[in-house]
Amino acid sequence: MHRSFFYRLSILLAFWFGMAMPIAQAEDGYDTWLRYPPVAEQKLLKAYQKQLAQIVVEGESPTMAAAKAELQRGLSGLLAKPIASGESKLSKHALVIGTPANSPLIASLNLTNRLAALGSEGYLLESTRINKREVIIIAANSDVGVLYGSFHFLRLLQTQQSLDKLSIASAPKLQHRVVNHWDNLNRLVERGYAGLSLWDWGTLPEHKSQRYKDYARINASLGINGTVINNVNSDPRVLSDQFLQKIAGLADAFRPYGIKLYLSINYNSPRAFGDLDTADPLDPRVQQWWKERTEKVYQYIPDFGGYLVKANSEGQPGPQDYKRNHADGANMLAAALKPYGGVVFWRAFVYSPDIGDRFRGSYDEFKPLDGKFADNVILQVKNGPIDFQPREPYSPLFSAMEKTNMMMEFQVTQEYFGFATHLAYQGPLFEESLRTETYAKGEGSTIGNILQGKTFNSKRTGMAAVINPGTDRNWTGHPFVQSSWYAFGRMAWDHDISAEAAAEEWLRMTFSNDKKFIDPVKNMMMASREAGVNYRSPLGLTHLYSQGDHYGPAPWTANLERPDWTAIYYHRAEKDGIGFDRTKTGSNAIAQYPSVLAKQYGDLSAVPEDLMLWFHHVSWDHKMKSGRTLWDELVHKYYEGVDQVRSMQREWDKLEGYIDAERFGQVKALLIVQERDAVIWRDSCVLYFQTFSGKAISAGYEKPKHDLEYYKALARTRYVPEPWHPASSSRVLK
């Protein structure tokens, strides 16, 4: 679809509706996937127009109003004509939305049993008859279920699906579907890369920016039902009355969209407020302090979700400062939240300085506490044992904590994937993680099933992702970071949705339904994560970044405050080979996995090659499946990564004219940056590792343009586009 066509059409529509359409900003990415241009396929458009003459909404609530407004906005755009709504008289071909409680028309259909199976958030989309008239219904047990169903319904039109004989039932597989913001109160976003924090503390609560509402719409369209609005490195001031008042304004903006607000808290808050000289969770004064503060929070935000806690991790305070354990700390907060139905998301991202292998840290601290957490505590575990690396094996906690509620923590924010400059769709990473078979209770114990509570019968379930929307007009910086937000939300609703299916939906809604555009771009997206692995850290290498910035390569980094903040700690390259021995002869971290996996990962001939150097220290001459030596394979992968980026560039360049010039041009430019960075990664790593292997880069590969010293110097002066350092404000009040 050519821009000028849209342009002409917009003018036409503006004329039609007698109002000014925001043409100039139409394709700047602000609308994300909630774009509703007229359906391009004419036959389908006609069919839709016929099938949808009227919207009937009987119920009245802010959530029903939100559903109605979205349908009006969406359908009048997609159908290229205003749609009647609100009439009391039911016409043929109406879209009827509601719950049995708020809509007599829906109640007349006797759906109670069928709806019962869909819980409090699920919905039905169905072609049926009411009073002998053909209608389509969006029915649910709750208003928010209707809202989710409305977004699903719009998606059908946005992706050009038929509405004939509609019969769809959908319910979320997980309870807590939550996004995490790493926003500081000074509006800098830790690892954010897309402008300042969305939350404008200076004008809240009086001014409710349109962005708060649009942010809520975006999340609700995916079924996301919770947001933690501030950084896990938390500034204690979030719990002050002054901030709670402002935060309540945000909660008000999110509420109609079914999104609960949560806060990251600083464990030392009772001290930071100057009220107590301790934060010991077993001290009754501390317990009382949290009880009272929590009561206050609920006065401001009656449906407040709960606390997210980063404790005793990377210098943050926690119960261990008082010789108590994580369960003591979490349970104390859980008790304060319990009367209101609130929950504690307690993070498992810990790695104490005295643990030899950082991989082992989290398991070694938490496994002994299995079964000791209160029932409104959920352990929030990053997908891998280290830290959102391009590829990690799964965190062994998932298969080990049989008696503890657990939820996933993914990262949409591309902290280790080139920030907001590289195209790196995270869907394949999420899918790989969720489908990993752990064998915890025999076959079928995938991470997805564990999260769903199927494997260990856990009562509370969930999935979170760190996301990065900021004041950038398109929310996420790189337009394709939106796709990972989208995939996360869809998979949090249903972990069986594939990365490919999510990519296709997103492309159709965000750009175009033209297959000539979708197919090549979907292929690019699906390959982009692996490309990112290949040019950074293939074959199970990890964390070769410059310390702190997490953007460019510095595999030579050594001699820092902690060994596990250096790169040499992770790759262990020597004259004899490379990789971290985590088998019995090394740290034995593999013993944290169920025996089937421990055996597989521990056996050099059986370990998947893409995880090999996570678990083994391997000779440079080791024969790989390809027939190449490890050295040659490593070089091959680094070059393959760069080639993949170049092929993405070629593919994208062919697509000019299929979408608007603005977004096309932005992605094109960013791919040039990505190619340049990928070459720097490849050459830095290959040249550096060569100093150990002493082997040549095979003929046939292009020669690195510069020598190793050049790349080392580059790393020292690299431009890093981010106010990145953790906890800039929270550390003041420790």
The catalytic residue positions are 314, 387, 415
CB 144, min distance to ligand BDP, A: 29
Q: Which of 544, 695, 537, 556 is nearest to 610 (CA)?
A: 537
Length of the chain: 734
Q: Rounded to an integer, what is the distance from CA 18 to the centroid of its chain?
A: 40
- DSSP structure string for 568-626: HHHH---SSEES---STTTT-GGGGS-HHHHHHHH-TTTS-GGGHHHH--EETTPBPTT
CB 191, min distance to ligand BDP, A: 5
Measure the CA dihedral 36/39/45/51, to 10°.
-30
Task: Decide if 502 contacts 429 (C-beta within 8 A).
Answer: no
Q: Is the peptide bond before 205 cis (omega within 30 degrees of 0)?
A: yes
- Residue 155 near ligand BDP by CB under 6 A: no
- DSSP structure string for 150-171: HHHHHHHHHTT---TT-EEEE-
Count interface residues toward ligand BDP (CB under 6 A): 12
Q: Which of 68, 181, 191, 271 binds ligand BDP (CB under 6 A)?
A: 191
Q: Which is nearer to ligand BDP, 95 or 228 (CB)?
A: 228
- Residue 726 near ligand BDP by CB under 6 A: yes
CB 266, min distance to ligand BDP, A: 13
Binding string to ligand BDP for residues 329 to 358, with x set by CB under 6 A, is what? --------------------x---------
Task: Decide if 577 contacts 618 (C-beta within 8 A).
Answer: yes
Task: Decide if 92 contacts 134 (C-beta within 8 A).
Answer: yes
CB 38, min distance to ligand BDP, A: 43
- Residue 6 near ligand BDP by CB under 6 A: no
- Residue 387 near ligand BDP by CB under 6 A: yes
For residue 678, CA distances in Å to 331, 533, 552, 650 come to 46, 10, 9, 15
- Residue 722 near ligand BDP by CB under 6 A: no
Measure the CA–CA gap between 364 and 356, rounded to whole angstroms: 11
Q: Which of 190, 280, 633, 683 binds ligand BDP (CB under 6 A)?
A: 190
CB 265, min distance to ligand BDP, A: 14
Q: Which of 281, 263, 259, 279 is nearest to 271 (CA)?
A: 279
What secondary structure letter does DSSP report for 134?
A: E
Name 70's Cβ contacts closer than 8 Å, sequence gap at least 6: 147, 150, 151, 154, 217
Q: Which is nearer to ligand BDP, 264 or 458 (CB)?
A: 264
Sheet holding 94-98, edge to edge: 84-85, 54-57, 94-98, 133-140, 123-130, 167-170
Task: Give backbone dihedrals phi and psi of 613, rounded to 5 degrees, phi first.
Answer: -80, -5
Q: Are strands 343-347 and 377-382 parallel, antiparallel or unpaired?
A: parallel
Task: Give backbone dihedrals phi and psi of 217, rounded to 5 degrees, phi first.
Answer: -60, -45
- Residue 233 near ligand BDP by CB under 6 A: yes
CB 313, min distance to ligand BDP, A: 6
- Residue 310 near ligand BDP by CB under 6 A: yes
Q: Which is nearer to ligand BDP, 348 or 527 (CB)?
A: 348
CB 231, min distance to ligand BDP, A: 7
- Residue 232 near ligand BDP by CB under 6 A: yes
Q: Which is nearer to ligand BDP, 190 or 432 (CB)?
A: 190
- Residue 267 near ligand BDP by CB under 6 A: no
- Residue 426 near ligand BDP by CB under 6 A: no
Q: Which is nearer to ligand BDP, 316 or 528 (CB)?
A: 316
Q: Which is nearer to ligand BDP, 221 or 411 (CB)?
A: 411
Half-sphere exposure of 295 (CA within 13 A, CB side): 6
- Residue 610 near ligand BDP by CB under 6 A: no
Binding string to ligand BDP for residues 633 to 672, with x set by CB under 6 A, is what? ----------------------------------------
- Residue 317 near ligand BDP by CB under 6 A: no
Stretch that binds ligand BDP, among 234-242, 310-318, 396-404, 649-657 (CB under 6 A): 310-318
Q: Which of 359, 363, 388, 601 binds ligand BDP (CB under 6 A)?
A: 388
Q: Which is nearer to ligand BDP, 314 or 702 (CB)?
A: 314
Q: Which is nearer to ligand BDP, 313 or 376 (CB)?
A: 313
Q: Which is nearer to ligand BDP, 232 or 424 (CB)?
A: 232
- Residue 567 near ligand BDP by CB under 6 A: no
Q: Which of 415, 432, 472, 683 binds ligand BDP (CB under 6 A)?
A: 415
Half-sphere exposure of 627 (CA within 13 A, CB side): 0
CB 415, min distance to ligand BDP, A: 6
What does the longest C-alpha to C-alpha distance in the chain come to?
82
Measure the CA–CA gap between 51 and 44, rounded to whole angstroms: 10
Stretch that binds ligand BDP, among 161-169, 273-281, 306-314, 392-400 (CB under 6 A): 306-314
Q: Which is nearer to ligand BDP, 150 or 380 (CB)?
A: 380
Q: Are strands 133-140 and 123-130 parallel, antiparallel or unpaired?
A: antiparallel
- Residue 392 near ligand BDP by CB under 6 A: no
**Consecutive H or E run containing 382:** strand 377-382
- Residue 495 near ligand BDP by CB under 6 A: no
Tokens 């994580």 — which residue? 326
Contacts with ligand BDP by CB under 6 A lie at 190-191, 232-233, 310, 313-314, 349, 387-388, 415, 726
